[in-house]
Structure 1
Amino acid sequence: MADASKFSQLRDAHWLDAKSVRFWALMLLLVDLFPIIFRLLTGDGLIDRNGMPFGGDYISFFAASRLALSGHAADAWRPELHHAAETAVFSRDLGYWAFFYPPPYLLLCLPLGLVSYGWSAVIALGTTTGLMLAIVRTWLARMMVGVKADGARAIWLPLIAFPGIWMNIACGQNAALTTAIMAGGCLLLQRAPVASGLVFGLLIIKPQLALALPFVLAASGRWKTFFAAGVSAFALCLAAWLVFGTEGYLAFFANSALARATLDQGFVDAAKMQSLFGALKTLGLPNVVAYVAQILLAGIVLARAGWIAVRLRPDALAFGALLASASLLVSPFLLDYDLLMIVLPLGWLILTGVREGFRPYEKLLCIWIFLLPAVARGLAEIVHVPLGALSVCLLFWLVQGRMAKTADMNMSAVLKPST
């Protein structure tokens, strides 16, 4: 009997109520902040004790901005010259952080080099994180209609404590911006489809995260959004060409060979990669096997997401959860900080569970996925178990399963005879 009781506690997790969520979220927030504060206090100014600059990858964006502002934008895609610009930031060689982003992203990076490195990093990371939090808060607030006040209040602290936010800040990356774009496009989808597409088109700055977008939009028949996204992406590319010229694009395409080699030859630590491709590389499988498996997974995910979009006609927020989880599975180049985007499908999943009731073990699975950005790389490095891709697959499975269940519940309510 005691064993059955323990089994029930794991299955239903009734102990995970609003009060306990707030407590553990506060503890997690302190854990999130500790390594960032420790690195700043024990380092040499903005360089930590391991010789890494504050914000890590951010130095790549800052150096690219400085090159563009000096009239040498194309040099951002010339590794030797870009490396020299990074070295000039702290007057010492700290290593090399490549710049593989397309010209539209450099357009957004232009203002970064107008101030000193430290202020630039604080302003850029603070602004994009604040924007993401504001948009995601609006996203979650729309789902809280009908949720008890205690349950609604409990969501804000976990949002701020979400490890993906602090992972992105520690890495000096742009996942907060791409998450804000994805969430913003979904929020506008129902009421302003053209504006939604214009926002979605901004994902051209990181096109590997937009691979699922045209397929799912087309499958759902959201043609206004589909074409508006194309116009927006084209306009941003055109603006980048007007600013950086043909030379910038030629340098970008010439640098693509290095980007491909980075993926194929393991220049990026496989443990840091969270795609199926990265998972299979971590296990030591050859590139051809990893690519074939990634393509098969992408095909399955796109087919399933398209089927759901056509048959179940999800609302804008459910559509966003589906799109975000699918987008994270389709790309072979997905790093741990990109997992910040799981906040959208995970938030939808949790709040839908609060409203409709959680399925067996769903709470525990949500806890695991919530912690994923903090533990995925470490587990891959220490025990060589690439759980990132498996966990994102699990998230997609939970989202599509919840949508199917909700659709069945709604249909049952419609067909139920009146009394």
Structure 2
Amino acid sequence: MALGGALRDADWLDARRVRAYAAMVGVASLGILWFAWRDATGATGSDFLAFWGAAKSVMAGDPAAAYDLAVQERIQTGTGSHGWFAFVNPPPFLLAVAPFGWLPYPSGWIAWVALTYALWAWAGVRAFPRLWPLVLTYPGALIAATHGQNGLLTGALLIAAISLLARSCPLLSGAAIGALVIKPHLALLLPFWLLGGRCWRTILAAGAALVALLLASLLAFGTATMQAYTTSWGASAVLIAQGGPDFFLRMSTYYSQLRVHFGEPVAIGGGAVIALGMIGMALQLFRRFGGDARASGAAVLAATALAPPYLFNYDLPFLIFPTLWLVEQGLARGFRPYEKLLLVALWFAPYATRAAAFGIGANLMPLAAFLLLALIWTRAPLPFGNSSRSVPTDCREPG
């Protein structure tokens, strides 16, 4: 009984121990990052090579070459890497990565990881100031950093979008959403969530920001770059068509795991059903949570980890928001049986599920995301009186 109680209630997991464990994870993460930088700047390379190679093309005055596979292979392998990566992000992303073309690849990797981590950490700590140790040491941020990927940047935008709307800043929230044009499938559910909340000003601001970034990239890089971007769709299609189990085990979607174990037709059908289900849920979230943008935003971010067919664990730093929202609710209203230990597992999940994927033959992150969403969904409706302060001024509870 004593052991059962220790697991069920986990009263031993108090604030002091949480801070101590977070510090241990932080120290270990510094060591992991050093090894990641060593591999990234050696023969192994890293995903940041794609961003740096594209940036070098911009700095050389030929931004369209960011999408030229032959040019990118030459630039990236020139660092000593045995591998190279296609640049497939839309041209507005070049506005973010271009300055890193002035730096040598090793220092560019450090600068990119440091700056995007700082943006993500700022957004996360602003959202959860009392829980800052859990933000700064989040394993979901570590995996994005070790890959040199853009999950920290997109995570900062997603967290900011929810936080700003909850603070009645609809235009800034929309601007953050519009900036996700750099990786648009991460914003798949947000328009439906905003429609369900009748957040008209946020929707207009998101559209305006999206158009502004497209025009800015068109003016900066020309129509040739826009046209070259369309050629990257073919590279992505080939990658999906020819990807083997190793490729799909790196992905964190139901589509990818269904494809590994049941084949493409089942994966397409199953992935479509899940995506449609998440869209339907997104439309209902404001109603479900009584108009609370912060609560419904936590749910839509958890659902965002389930809806797109193409997503990797390094795209998931935004899950710090729904995870810590549940911690926040537990501190305010009491933790449910076993919830503390479940939240510890979910806090580790983006890193742990990817690390275990090849060993067990499955990436369990979709199951973790579903559990996260279920825990949030069952926290509604909110009986205590803090929901009204979270209702944005341009969103009304559907009647």
Q: TM-score, normalised by structure 1?
A: 0.87
Instruction: Say if 1:74 and 1:248, in contact at 8 Å, map to a contact too.
Output: yes
Long gaps (5+) in structure 1 = 142-151, 412-419
Among 126, 135, 148, the residue aligned to 1:138: 126
Cα separation, 1, equivalents of 2:77 and 2:275: 39
Q: Deviations over 1:264-301 (max 9, x none)?
A: 32167212100111221332x21221121111111112
Cα separation, 1, equivalents of 2:243 and 2:376: 32
**Does 1:176 find its partner at 2:164?**
no
Q: Give 1 or 2 for the bigger CA radius of gyration.
A: 1
**Does 1:156 find its partner at 2:150?**
no
* Counterpart code for 1:364: L
- 1:120 corresponds in structure 2 to 108
The 5 A counterparts of 1:15-414 are: 15-38=12-35, 47-48=41-42, 51-53=43-45, 56-88=46-78, 90=79, 92-141=80-129, 152=130, 155-189=131-165, 190-266=167-243, 269-283=247-261, 285-404=262-381, 406-407=382-383
- 1:417 corresponds in structure 2 to none
* Counterpart code for 2:117: T
Cα separation, 2, equivalents of 1:230 and 1:375: 36
TM-superposed deviation, 1:34: 2.2
Cα separation, 2, equivalents of 1:39 and 1:205: 25
Between the two proteins, the alignment pairs up a number of residues equal to 384
Instruction: Say if 1:75 and 1:82, in contact at 8 Å, map to a contact too.
Output: yes
TM-superposed deviation, 1:235: 1.1
Instruction: Say if 2:119 and 2:156, in contact at 8 Å, map to a contact too.
Output: yes
* Counterpart code for 2:260: T
Structure 1 pair 314/361, CA: closer, same or farther in 2 (3 Å)?
farther
Cα separation, 2, equivalents of 1:353 and 1:263: 41
Cα separation, 2, equivalents of 1:13 and 1:294: 36
Cα separation, 1, equivalents of 2:41 and 2:108: 15
SS at match of 2:347: helix
Instruction: Say if 1:220 and 1:313, in contact at 8 Å, map to a contact too.
Output: no
SS at match of 2:128: helix
Cα separation, 1, equivalents of 2:241 and 2:371: 26
SS at match of 2:168: coil
Q: Deviations over 1:276-332 (max 9, x none)?
A: 11221332x212211211111111122123212134334232232122112221111
Instruction: Say if 1:282 and 1:380, in contact at 8 Å, map to a contact too.
Output: no
SS at match of 2:82: coil
Moved more, 343-352 or 296-305: 296-305
* Counterpart code for 1:85: I
* Runs of 4 or more consecutive aligned structure 1 residues displaced over 4 Å after TM superposition: none
TM-superposed deviation, 1:18: 0.9
Structure 1 pair 365/66, CA: closer, same or farther in 2 (3 Å)?
same
Cα separation, 1, equivalents of 2:110 and 2:31: 17
Instruction: Say if 1:197 and 1:226, in contact at 8 Å, map to a contact too.
Output: yes
Instruction: Say if 2:282 and 2:300, in contact at 8 Å, map to a contact too.
Output: yes
Q: Deviations over 1:144-163 (max 9, x none)?
A: xxxxxxxx4xx322222211
* Counterpart code for 1:281: R
Moved more, 94-103 or 238-247: 238-247
- 2:393 corresponds in structure 1 to none
Cα separation, 1, equivalents of 2:120 and 2:230: 30
Cα separation, 2, equivalents of 1:28 and 1:119: 25
Instruction: Say if 2:117 and 2:153, in contact at 8 Å, map to a contact too.
Output: yes
Cα separation, 1, equivalents of 2:203 and 2:98: 28
Cα separation, 2, equivalents of 1:107 and 1:301: 31
Cα separation, 1, equivalents of 2:290 and 2:208: 25
SS at match of 1:97: coil
SS at match of 1:16: coil
SS at match of 2:356: helix
* Counterpart code for 1:109: V
Cα separation, 1, equivalents of 2:64 and 2:362: 39
SS at match of 1:173: coil
Instruction: Say if 2:155 and 2:316, in contact at 8 Å, map to a contact too.
Output: no
* Counterpart code for 1:388: M
Q: Deviations over 1:103-160 (max 9, x none)?
A: 111122111101222222222221111111112111013xxxxxxxxxx4xx322222
Cα separation, 1, equivalents of 2:242 and 2:286: 37
SS at match of 1:329: coil
